[in-house]
Structures are given as C-alpha cells and as structure tokens.
Amino acid sequence: MWISKKYVRDLEQQLNKYQTGENQRQNDLDREERLKAEAEFKRQEELQRNAPVSVDWNKMNAFSIERIHNHKGNGDTTNIGYFLTTSNGVQLVKEWVFYCSLERHEELVKQFNEQKIKAKK
C-alpha cells in the first residue's frame, strides 16, 4: 500500500499540534500548581512574620542577633547566636533562625543589648 507524502506530513502536523497542546496544558497545570504553592508559602510566611516571638534572655546564653537578607526572595530572617551547654559541660554554638517583622527584630535587638548591659553589672 502506498501512502502519499502529503498524508504523512498532515499526520505529522496533527500529531505535533496535539503534542504542543498537551505540552501547553501541562505547562498551564504546572504553572497553576506553582502559583498555588507560592501563595501558600507567602501565607505561611506572613503568619510566621506576624506571630509573637518571645525570648527569655536570662535563660538564653545569646552572643549575637542579626538580620539576614535572603536573596531568594523568601523574606529576611532574624538569627540569634547562642551557646548551649550540654549535660557534660561542653558548650556548643547554636543558631535560632526565624521570620519576624523588621520592627519586631529591632525590639529584640534592643532587648538583647539591654540584657548585655545587665549581664556586665
């Protein structure tokens, strides 16, 4: 049986259109899923950012507090460096990383500095 080249070309074009359409639908679905995930991440980040943060500076052996800019666009974090003493007396350097507003960060810095002054007395 002989098949014309035009018929084969038409079939190839139809297949290409179908595959392109499927790819576009998959891209649309992937984009929709990505947008949903990004929206959920932003919602969670906002919840964390506005959540109250309490630090017991008397119990925490903190030595630094910093604001770290996240270049990936996930928001800036507050990092508190502190010493943790194990049950056998070994001091470990630890870091507490969390999201909070810049205003809350500044309040924590003020508290940290006040605690340093109290500790020196």
- Same domain? For 61 and 39 the reply is no
Nearest partner of 109 among 75, 84, 73, 81, judged by Cα: 81
Model pTM score: 0.59
Residues spanned by the domain of 39:
1-50
What is each CA distance from 113 to 42, 64, 101, 107, 116, in whole angstroms?
31, 10, 18, 10, 5
Residues 46 and 97 reside in one and the same domain:
no
Residues 114, 62 share a domain: yes
Please indicate, yes or no, whether residues 44 and 68 belong to a single structural domain of this protein: no
Same domain, 38 and 56: no
Per-residue pLDDT of the chain (121 residues; tens, 9 = 90+): 567 777 778 888 887 777 777 777 777 888 888 888 888 878 877 777 777 778 888 888 999 999 998 777 667 889 999 999 999 999 999 999 988 888 889 999 999 999 988 887 7
